[in-house]
């Protein structure tokens, strides 16, 4: 099969056969197809798109280019959760223990965060001693004993995606909804769970800022997952302002613990319970409303928090630091950002809050950057809160004092004041089944 013929077929809007797609991915991973030909193919897909069938074959071929994790040694229904990423998004640390406390198994592999804030693995690594590298046997054992385990992504998970993503990054083809869907879902299929819950964020702090694009991506991913034989649901959720009040790795662990104690902020609690309820629904624990009640019950009686603590202890984390979160790392320098005038907070731009947090050291610019686990931001005010002139809106934390001026400047620009409150924000816009 000549690659030029496959490129020409896609360029001319034809539907590629399963054989053509699988052959192309296999040979690309084996370095038998050069990057310049694959670049042309990515651009052809960018313009012509792919049918759901083509996309499912592409995703499956990408998944099978490396290890396909076999979770059959873990008893029960395994449910994975994926977020397209947002600022202050610590929902995995809350929803996964809730699901586990209700009897669902969560065996999750998470990538390291690239961007303003860390990923779930970076957040967990802020717990002193927590190990995110476990061998297969230990990973399965932790899930069987505690109901959940979160570890770093194995090096050989969907290598075709690694290679293609690096190519798309330098050929202006990242912003293709079918290619993003295949990229995300190839890793989810390879990770082996029976069911997949997708949290597709939309708003200023989201990768897909527009609602229509977020819906298109969610629909594609749900189609791919379903056609690949995994029960898949997507929620399209609000990322206009940061989720919860804490941004930054150890700060987010502390807020997740507070939420599991029942004292979390309303937006974070509401979304985490909704995500957990959908995980329960996927695992056939009942109708969605019953699942919401089950999720709320294990949050209220503390069993979900116990699940998080059990997983942390099983992975070497200091359990004391989850009982007393003041033991988690906190960067030594702090600075308050105060309101210059009074008014109601009309907006707290999530992207700018994320940038400010990244500038303080909480994020990672390249895959080799070192994260400052205790850096970040505590927001004292959120949208609709009233603030008086001189009152603190946020406290910033870092280990390098010289990082404050730029971060303060960005955070000040993130805040808009208005004359009246805007009304309750909607956390979940749509559910796509």
What is the set of active-site residues?
A: 82, 161, 168, 183, 187
Pairing outcome for strands 195-202 and 79-83: parallel
Nearer to ligand URA, 63 or 180 (CB): 180
CA distance 416 to 48: 41
C-alpha distances out from residue 74 to 101, 104, 107, 157, 314, Å: 16, 11, 9, 19, 16
Q: Please list the residues that pair with 238 across neighbouring strands.
A: 202
Q: In which element (H, E) is residue 234 found?
A: strand 231-238
Nearer to ligand URA, 193 or 325 (CB): 193
C-alpha distances out from residue 67 to 21, 133, 158, 183, 367, Å: 19, 16, 7, 15, 22
Taking CB under 6 A as the rule, does residue 110 contact ligand URA?
A: no
Nearer to ligand URA, 114 or 296 (CB): 114
C-alpha distances out from residue 117 to 88, 258, 277, 393, 427, Å: 8, 20, 26, 20, 21
Helix (H, G, I), strand (E, B) or coil at 139: helix
Span near ligand URA by CB under 6 A; candidates 96-104, 177-185, 209-217, 268-276: 177-185
Taking CB under 6 A as the rule, does residue 180 contact ligand URA?
A: yes
Nearer to ligand URA, 92 or 398 (CB): 92
Of 289, 309, 292, whose CA–CA distance to 300 is shortest? 292
Q: Residues 6 or more apart from 157 whose CB is under 8 A from it? A: 66, 67, 69, 109, 187, 190, 191
Q: Taking CB positions, which residue lies at the least distance from ligand URA?
A: 183
Nearer to ligand URA, 172 or 389 (CB): 172
Span near ligand URA by CB under 6 A; candidates 150-158, 180-188, 192-200, 400-408: 180-188
Per-residue x/- track, 248-277, ligand URA (CB under 6 A): ------------------------------
Helix (H, G, I), strand (E, B) or coil at 125: helix
Span near ligand URA by CB under 6 A; candidates 24-32, 100-108, 179-187, 385-393: 179-187
- The minimum distance between CB 183 and ligand URA, in angstroms, equals 3
CA distance 9 to 25: 16
Helix (H, G, I), strand (E, B) or coil at 390: coil
Taking CB under 6 A as the rule, does residue 160 contact ligand URA?
A: no
Nearer to ligand URA, 160 or 308 (CB): 160
Taking CB under 6 A as the rule, does residue 184 contact ligand URA?
A: yes
Residue 401 gets which letter from DSSP? Answer: G
- The minimum distance between CB 163 and ligand URA, in angstroms, equals 12
Per-residue x/- track, 191-220, ligand URA (CB under 6 A): ----------------x-------------
Taking CB under 6 A as the rule, does residue 186 contact ligand URA?
A: no
Nearer to ligand URA, 185 or 235 (CB): 185
- The minimum distance between CB 194 and ligand URA, in angstroms, equals 21
Among 183, 238, 278, 398, indicate the residue that binds ligand URA (CB under 6 A): 183
Among 76, 115, 165, 333, indicate the residue that binds ligand URA (CB under 6 A): 165
**How many beta carbons lie within 10 A of that of residue 293, not counting itself?**
14
Total residues contacting ligand URA (rule CB under 6 A)?
6
Tell me whether residue 368 is exposed, middle or buried, using C-beta atoms within 10 angstroms of its C-beta: 0 to 12, 13 to 18, 19 or more.
exposed
- Positions touching ligand URA (CB under 6 A) are 165, 174, 180, 183-184, 207
């Amino acid at each position: 099969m000549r690659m030029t013929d496959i490129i020409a077929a896609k360029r001319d809007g034809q539907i590629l056969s399963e054989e053509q797609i699988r052959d192309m991915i296999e040979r690309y991973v084996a370095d038998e197809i050069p990057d310049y030909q694959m670049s042309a193919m990515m651009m052809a897909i960018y313009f012509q798109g792919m049918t759901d069938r083509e996309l499912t074959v592409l995703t499956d071929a990408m998944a099978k280019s490396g290890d396909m994790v076999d979770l059959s040694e873990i008893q029960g229904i395994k449910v994975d959760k994926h977020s397209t990423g947002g600022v202050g998004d610590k929902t995995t640390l809350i929803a996964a223990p809730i699901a586990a406390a209700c009897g669902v198994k969560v065996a999750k592999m998470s990538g390291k965060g690239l961007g303003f804030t860390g990923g779930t693995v970076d957040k967990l690594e802020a717990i002193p001693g927590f190990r995110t590298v476990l061998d297969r046997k230990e990973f399965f054992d932790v899930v069987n004993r505690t109901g959940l385990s979160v570890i770093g992504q194995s090096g050989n998970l969907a290598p075709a995606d690694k290679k293609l993503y690096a190519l798309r990054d330098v050929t202006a083809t990242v912003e293709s909804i079918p290619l993003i869907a295949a990229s995300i879902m190839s890793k989810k299929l390879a990770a082996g769970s029976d069911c997949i819950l997708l949290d597709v964020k939309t708003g200023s702090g989201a990768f897909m800022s527009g609602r229509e694009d977020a819906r298109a991506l969610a629909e594609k991913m749900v189609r791919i997952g379903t056609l690949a034989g995994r029960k898949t649901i997507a929620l399209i959720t609000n990322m206009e302002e940061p989720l919860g009040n804490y941004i930054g790795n150890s700060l987010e662990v502390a807020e997740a613990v507070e939420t599991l104690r029942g004292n979390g902020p309303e937006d974070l609690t509401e979304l985490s319970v909704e995500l957990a309820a959908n995980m329960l629904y996927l695992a056939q624990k009942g109708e969605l409303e019953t699942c919401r009640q089950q999720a709320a019950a294990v949050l209220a009686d503390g069993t979900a928090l116990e699940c998080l603590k059990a997983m942390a202890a099983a992975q070497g984390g200091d359990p004391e630091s989850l009982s007393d979160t003041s033991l988690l790392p906190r960067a030594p320098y702090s600075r308050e950002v105060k309101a210059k005038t009074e008014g109601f907070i009309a907006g707290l731009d999530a992207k700018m809050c994320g940038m400010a947090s990244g500038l303080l050291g909480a994020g990672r610019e390249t895959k080799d950057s070192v994260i400052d686990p205790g850096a970040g931001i505590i927001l004292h005010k959120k949208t609709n809160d009233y603030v008086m002139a001189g009152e603190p809106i946020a406290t910033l934390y870092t280990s390098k004092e010289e990082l404050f001026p730029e971060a303060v400047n960005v955070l000040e620009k993130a805040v808009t004041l208005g004359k009246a409150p805007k009304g309750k924000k909607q956390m979940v816009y749509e559910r796509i089944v």
